[in-house]
């Protein structure tokens, strides 16, 4: 038995091969591999491959199951001509796959399958894990384990309603998630859930309820909440004055927030910065820092990068943290940020806000600080550059945008460059 790369539908997968009695088994592990250089001579992943230990452990488990299935077939008939169908059918009969699991047990199998995909983005990994936490919380809410036979249209509808309500922990019920998710976030969770349900269907574990495809969640364009230069200066002044009452986590959140108001990164890119992302360059006779980041959100094939020349504030902050912010999660970042802004009564003016549920829009007026999040940095960065008359091409180079249409909502609302042309008419 050996493993090598085989291409299916223009994608490279690691495939287990076995020859016996004139038959050939090609068992697809569905572990994505970009090229042969990532593997050792034994067909295992090299140590420099991200998560190599986890991938090798999973690969050996798959090989063990395939080996057991082949052994079962040959013990029944030593002369049997092996093929893929016989091995796959035998695997389904092995106790490993036949044991009675609840929802979370099968979801763990799904996670193992997804995490075997080498090119899976880190944000996608986090999304799958967050869905697991939401499902565990739903079991806590129901006070019972969910069995796979209950995974139907009604289950998904009830799960959506659960994600819309706040999850308040008590001494009897401890929740991992906070609830009150927006329609956009719920849609992401349900898309991942559908993927899991199709995984169960593909593996003949549970048939997919086609009525689930009828569930439509209306997403929306989130309102553009930004901080202008005066507001940013006010924030910096207050934080400097109150720095002594902030704990280490709060200081990190505020410093990284102010840094990102000057760089416009998405949270995942901000959290993954390290020293390799910064280069020293000569500018006006002085050594300055330039940030270059391959953006996490884009696919491996279609990656873009952001290149930002840091101003003095950003340089000072990132050097203080040795080029890496020790951030835990976007959710905790936003909770800490809102808590600090509320404690110091910052940005207390009212703004119009649409809270979008899966079925209805709730128009409400909230304090501006309640609508501020990590993504406010990116929006503020773009908006303030537009107000300064920065060329669109330069902004796209700094943010990593490849399409002008993506910036159109900012250009239409905040750019004033056209006045220099219309005033001449």
Average pLDDT, the chain: 85
Inform me whether the pLDDT recorded for 209 exceeds 60: yes
Give the tokens for residue 186: 């719920």
Tokens in use for 111? 């996670």
The tokens describing 326, both together, are 């020790």
Chain segment 56-108, per-residue pLDDT in tens: 887 888 888 888 888 888 888 888 898 888 888 887 776 544 455 788 989 99
In whole angstroms, what is the distance from residue 104 CA to residue 132 CA?
7
Look at the block and give the residue holding tokens 């905040």: 414
Q: What is the mean pLDDT of residues 366-383?
A: 92
Is the pLDDT at 15 greater than 70? The verdict is: yes
Q: Which two tokens stand for residue 309?
A: 């020349």
**Orientation angle between helical segments 404-414 and 375-387, nearest 10 degrees:** 60
Report the C-alpha gap between 352 and 225 in whole angstroms: 10
Q: Other CB atoms closer than 10 Å to residue 397's CB: what's the count?
A: 15
Q: What percent of the chain stands above pLDDT 90?
A: 43
* Dihedral angle of Cα 11, 13, 18, 24, to the nearest 10 degrees: -20
Instruction: State residue 415's pLDDT score.
Output: 61
* Residue 85 buriedness (CB in 10 A; 0-12 / 13-18 / 19+): exposed
Mean pLDDT, to the nearest integer, of 186-203?
A: 92
Q: Determine the Cα–Cα distance for residues 34 and 5; give it in Å rounded to an integer.
A: 9
Of the candidate ranges 112-126, 349-363, 376-390, the one whose mean pLDDT is the lowest: 349-363
Nearest to 354 by CA among 365, 369, 370: 365
Task: Kindly state the average pLDDT of the residues 175-199.
Answer: 91
Q: Which residue has the higher pLDDT, 51 or 136?
A: 136
At 301 the pLDDT is 42
3-state secondary structure the chain: CEEEEEEECCEEEEEEEEEECCEEEEEEEEEECCCHHHECCCCCECCCCCCHHHHHHHHHHHHHHHHHHHHHHHHHCCCCCCCHHHHHHHHHHCHHHHCCCCHHHHHHHHHHHHHCCCCCCHHHHHHHHHHHHHHHHHHHHHCCCCCHHHCCHHHHHHHHHHHHCECCCCCCCCCCCCECCCHHHHHHHHHHHHHHHHHHHHCCCCCCCHHHHHCCCCCCCCCCCCCCHHHHHHHHHHHHHHHHHCCHHHHHHHHHHHHHHCCCCCHHHHHCCCHHHEEEEEECCEEEEEEEEECCCCCCCCCCEEEEECCHHHHHHHHHCCCCCCCCCHHHHHHHHHHHHHHCCCCCCEEEEEEECCCCEEEEEEEHHHHCCCHHHHHHHHHHHHHCCCCHHHHHHHHCCCCHHHHHHHHHHHCCCCHHHHCCC
Please enumerate in sequence order all residues whose Cβ is within 8 A of that of 220, keeping only pairs 6 or more positions apart, or say none: 183, 184, 354, 356, 361
Q: Report the C-alpha gap between 118 and 54 in whole angstroms.
A: 11
pLDDT of residue 408: 78
Q: Among 31-40, 68-77, 228-237, 377-386, which is the least confidently predicted range?
A: 31-40
To 5 degrees, how large is the angle CA 116–CA 103–CA 72?
A: 60
Neighbours of 307 (CB within 10 A): 14
* CA dist., res. 394 & res. 353, Å (int): 31
What is 229-422's CATH topology?
A: hpI Integrase; Chain A (1.10.443)
Decide if 220 contacts 362 (C-beta within 8 A): no
CB atoms within 10 A of CB 406: 11
- Quick check: 165 and 180 in contact, CB under 8 A? yes
The predicted structure's pLDDT at residue 378 = 93
Joined together, the tokens standing for residue 18 give: 């076995």
What is the tens place of the pLDDT at every residue in 283-329? 989 999 999 998 865 433 456 889 999 999 999 999 999 999 999 88
Per-residue pLDDT, 387: 87
Pairwise CA distance, residues 381 & 395, whole Å: 9
- Asked if pLDDT for residue 357 goes beyond 60, the answer is no
Query: Distance from CA of residue 313 to its chain's centroid?
Result: 29
pLDDT tens digit sequence for 234-293: 999 999 999 999 999 999 999 999 999 999 999 989 999 999 999 999 998 999 999 999
Res 298: pLDDT: 45
Residues of the chain with CATH 1.10.443.10: 229-422
CB 5 within 8 A of CB 32: no
User: 338 near 207, Cβ under 8 Å?
Assistant: no
């Amino acid at each position: 038995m050996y493993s090598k790369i085989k291409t299916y539908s223009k994608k490279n997968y690691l495939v287990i091969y076995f020859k016996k009695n004139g038959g050939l088994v090609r068992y697809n592990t569905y572990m994505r591999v970009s090229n042969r250089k990532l593997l050792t001579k034994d067909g295992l992943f090299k140590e420099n491959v991200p998560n190599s230990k986890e991938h090798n452990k999973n690969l050996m488990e798959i090989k063990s199951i395939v080996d057991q299935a082949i052994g079962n077939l040959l013990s029944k008939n030593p002369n049997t001509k092996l093929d893929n169908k016989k091995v796959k059918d035998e695997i389904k009969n092995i106790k490993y796959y036949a044991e009675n699991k609840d929802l979370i047990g099968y979801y763990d199998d799904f996670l193992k399958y997804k995490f075997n995909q080498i090119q899976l983005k880190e944000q996608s990994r986090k999304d799958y894990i967050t869905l697991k936490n939401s499902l565990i919380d739903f079991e806590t809410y129901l006070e019972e384990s969910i069995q796979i036979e209950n995974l139907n249209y009604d289950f998904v509808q009830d799960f959506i309603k659960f994600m819309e309500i706040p999850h308040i922990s008590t001494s009897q019920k401890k929740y991992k998630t906070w609830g009150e998710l927006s329609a956009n976030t719920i849609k992401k969770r349900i898309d991942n859930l559908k993927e899991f349900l199709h995984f169960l269907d593909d593996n003949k574990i549970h048939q997919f309820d086609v009525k689930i495809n009828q569930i439509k969640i209306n997403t929306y364009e989130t309102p553009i909440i930004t901080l202008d230069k005066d507001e940013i200066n006010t924030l910096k002044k207050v934080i400097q004055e109150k720095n002594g009452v902030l704990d280490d986590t709060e200081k990190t959140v505020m410093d990284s927030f102010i840094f990102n108001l000057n760089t416009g990164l998405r949270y995942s890119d901000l959290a993954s910065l390290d020293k390799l992302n910064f280069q020293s360059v000569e500018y006006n006779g002085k050594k300055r820092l330039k940030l270059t980041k391959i953006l996490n959100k884009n696919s491996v094939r279609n990656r873009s990068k952001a290149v930002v020349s840091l101003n003095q504030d950003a340089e000072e902050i990132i050097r203080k943290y040795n080029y890496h912010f020790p951030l835990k999660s976007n959710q905790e970042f936003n909770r800490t940020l809102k808590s600090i802004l509320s404690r110091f009564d910052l940005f207390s003016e009212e703004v119009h806000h649409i809270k979008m549920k899966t079925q209805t829009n709730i128009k409400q007026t909230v304090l501006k600080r309640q609508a501020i999040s990590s993504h406010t940095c990116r929006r503020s960065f773009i908006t303030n550059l537009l107000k300064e008359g920065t060329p669109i091409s330069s902004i796209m180079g700094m943010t990593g945008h490849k399409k002008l249409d993506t910036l159109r909502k900012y250009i239409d609302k905040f750019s004033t460059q056209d006045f220099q042309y219309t005033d001449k008419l």
